[in-house]
A and B are shown apart, each in its own frame.
Chain A
């Protein structure tokens, strides 16, 4: 479709940043994704320009046929400016890989930014559903509905032996990845985070940074996800995540409680210094912003800060990212100008009495 969909885009944020839903003191969002491919075509990495265009057309037609085009935005990424593509990455609507990819490729996402369908990423289709808070069941069932509708009009590449066939052997089988984005400031402060990593690993789950594979955990944000997709049913994958995440939440809450009761002045000092810094700084780089926002989020949960809603903190994590700042400003900016704008944005959102 068009770039018009972008006009209001940088200001409106998705459902998953609401800061609501179960366990939203720690869990930012729950995401479920399915990798799907269309029979009769090579995987994207080996497809010609024409074949990619055909896949894109088939997928878009299928989305229209199941009436997913009514309330969604459809974008063809090869026709979209780089900054706008980066905004979509910062929103978690598309992957870095799709943004930087080549040839005909696209994304379709719902106005509430819960559903997103990437076309011609590593697999022909990557369907994902994001919910705020820890809500695997809802995200999974919502995505299943979309998948069932699409499979009635698109012949998926499957085999009885290996299930859904994918470009990478790590996704074969269910093609399903559940990712839970968690904020773990207390476990990070108390240096327990490695324990969490190791425990998750023993149970075949991976812990990654905010923007997926190979990225750093800025702002004490981590993504926990299942690592294996073959030989376990979708329900088993869901149950495994539902067994592991509460243990991490309990651990984090226990450490938060400990900080508040046993090290009150230490944690109050950290939180209030971060708030003062964010309310005063004239230049903020993205890491600095994220690490202080992390302390703020902790402070809101512990009741040290009462005049900042958690949604504001969640939104700043996204709105303060480089491409969002540049998209709002309407031009590309050098880093020092971005730092000034970021500080302005944070100050205005956190100004006392505005919330």
Chain B
């Protein structure tokens, strides 16, 4: 049987899509195409796809030539960092390697913390150079206050839990009052109206 990807070399490997323990689809490919498919599938920047779709993408790249094939990242995805200490986000605690493994940021701050590693990734994903935003941004930064109040409440809650754990009930009572006060201040007018 010929490889269902390149349609040239003999197929030696069967890829099965499994869903709820039943085989949904089987595709037979040659070892060379299998390696390309595997690299494409494990590219963290790509959405999860069924094998047939991956094969179709890889076929497209095969037809488009070597330059197109080179856009599939090597295993591991992105250029290694070198000997620098492991960058870690002080806000959410995610490390650069964790971000690379998951393909998802932990919080908005990561964009700042990992900035020097991001441009090459963004240039490749978005096929653009330089990797800079074009287009709209919020016109004002209203609502800032609400978020700060929320964060204050979250901090107070943490301190309250700690106080209770230490059986410091005097402090706990004071914190509870502060939380109640902050919470009643953060009720928006219109929600009072409609509830």
Give residues in A with beta carbon < 8 Å to B: 37-43, 45-46, 50-51, 54, 58, 61-62, 64-65, 67, 69, 122, 148, 151-170, 172-174, 194, 197-198, 201-202, 204, 213-214, 216, 228-236
Contact = CB atoms under 8 A, between A and B. Distances in A.
Contacts of A154: 143, 146
Contacts of A148: 139
Contacts of B105: 43, 165-169
Interface residues of B, number: 59
Contact of A229 (B45, B103, B126, B132): B126
A41 B92 CA distance: 9
Contacts of A169: 45, 103, 105, 118, 121-122, 125
B152 to A, nearest CB: 11
A159 B111 contact: yes
B85 interface: no
B101 interface: no
B147 interface: yes
B190 A46 contact: no
9 contacts: A42-B106, A64-B191, A65-B188, A67-B190, A151-B143, A201-B57, A230-B126, A231-B128, A231-B132
Contact of B140 (A122, A152, A170): A152
A69 B189 CA distance: 13
B50 A173 contact: no
Nearest to A204: B127
Contact of A161 (B103, B133, B136, B188): B133
Contacts of A50: 154, 157
A268 to B, nearest CB: 31
A148 B140 CA distance: 10
Nearest to A165: B108
Contact of A46 (B47, B50, B107, B112): B107
B137 A58 contact: no
A49 to B, nearest CB: 12
A133 B105 CA distance: 35
A93 to B, nearest CB: 20
A231 B133 contact: yes
A46 B92 contact: yes
A135 B189 CA distance: 36
A228 B126 CA distance: 5
B38 interface: no
A273 to B, nearest CB: 27
Contacts of B57: 201
B143 A198 contact: no
A231 B131 contact: yes
A158 B137 contact: yes
A345 B28 CA distance: 40
B183 to A, nearest CB: 10
Closest 7 A/B residue pairs (Cβ): A163-B133, A231-B128, A157-B108, A233-B135, A42-B107, A213-B47, A230-B126
A174 B136 CA distance: 7
Contacts of B56: 194, 197
A201 B56 CA distance: 11
A123 to B, nearest CB: 10
A202 B188 CA distance: 48
